């Protein structure tokens, strides 16, 4: 199995051009920065509101864009061409994931700057955000493999967006309903806890557990995506 950067680059460039001309999908990357700008200008922004925006960016950009990229290949019958080419599964998925990854990171950076969020320890936050991005990309790939068209993908991604961007508010209910304690292991809430601890000045030693949980989510989502890909693509 040869791993060719030239092919990955070809897929990346093709997807970039295709994506930039597909306004219906590319519009979503502007939403989180615009919302962030509002929150930043209104003042009195809390760490929760910053993370609502960041989690929304994950759902809208990482998951949504990734699932649309894959679903469109299926809908337009172009995935067959890719699979008949010498490009391997890893190369196809890497090329596609690379574009969504870059877009997510750029959108989140822009949102953070516009919202005026200034984390106390940039390195830890960066690692946490990159790990979370992988989780959402895996989730997006999974949705894209399930959906048969872009339309279906955009409907499927809605619950993901809602659970992961507004789901952070679940924390408030944990006191009342102890069963919701399980939900605190969700990657979006883990991310928020990391951010809160960083602000409180706690060092890396206490945070690695949270990072490990997010990493586990990311690995799980990618593993499922690969299994589903193999299953779906055989027939």
Within the chain, how many helices (H) and strands (E) appear? 11, 0
Cβ-based nearer residue to another protein, 7 or 210? 7
List, in order, residues 6 or more apart from 176 with CB less than 8 Å away: none
| Interface ranges with another protein (CB under 8 A) | 4, 6-7, 9-11, 13-14, 17-18, 21-22, 76-82, 84-87
Q: How far is the CB of 43 from another protein (least distance, A)?
A: 42
Report the distance separating Cα 87 and Cα 6, nearest Å.
10
Q: How far is the CB of 10 from another protein (least distance, A)?
A: 3
Q: How far is the CB of 103 from another protein (least distance, A)?
A: 17
User: Coil, strand or helix: which one is 4?
Assistant: coil
Report the distance separating Cα 233 and Cα 198, nearest Å.
43
Cβ-based nearer residue to another protein, 13 or 122? 13
Phi, then psi, of 53 in degrees rounded to 5: -65, -45
Q: How far is the CB of 210 from another protein (least distance, A)?
A: 40
Cβ-based nearer residue to another protein, 11 or 194? 11
Cβ-based nearer residue to another protein, 68 or 191? 68
Report the distance separating Cα 147 and Cα 142, nearest Å.
9
């Amino acid at each position: 199995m040869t791993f060719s950067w030239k092919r990955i680059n070809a897929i990346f460039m093709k997807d970039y051009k295709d994506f930039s001309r597909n306004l219906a999908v590319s519009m979503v990357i502007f939403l989180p920065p615009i919302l962030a700008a509002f929150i930043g200008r209104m003042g009195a922004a809390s760490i929760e509101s910053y993370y609502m925006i960041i989690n929304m960016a994950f759902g809208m950009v990482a998951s949504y864009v990734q699932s649309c990229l894959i679903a469109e290949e299926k809908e337009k019958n172009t995935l067959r061409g890719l699979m008949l080419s010498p490009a391997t599964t890893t190369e196809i998925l890497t090329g596609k994931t690379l574009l969504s990854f870059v877009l997510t990171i750029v959108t989140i950076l822009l949102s953070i700057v516009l919202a005026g969020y200034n984390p106390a320890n940039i390195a830890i936050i960066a690692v946490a955000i990159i790990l979370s991005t992988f989780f959402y990309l895996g989730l997006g790939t999974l949705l894209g493999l399930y959906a048969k068209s872009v339309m279906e993908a955009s409907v499927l991604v809605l619950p993901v967006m809602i659970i992961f961007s507004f789901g952070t508010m679940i924390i408030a209910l944990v006191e009342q309903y102890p069963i919701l304690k399980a939900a605190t292991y969700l990657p979006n809430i883990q991310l928020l806890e990391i951010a809160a601890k960083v602000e409180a000045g706690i060092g890396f030693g206490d945070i690695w557990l949270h990072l490990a949980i997010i990493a586990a989510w990311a690995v799980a989502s990618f593993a499922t995506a690969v299994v589903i890909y193999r299953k779906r693509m055989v027939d």
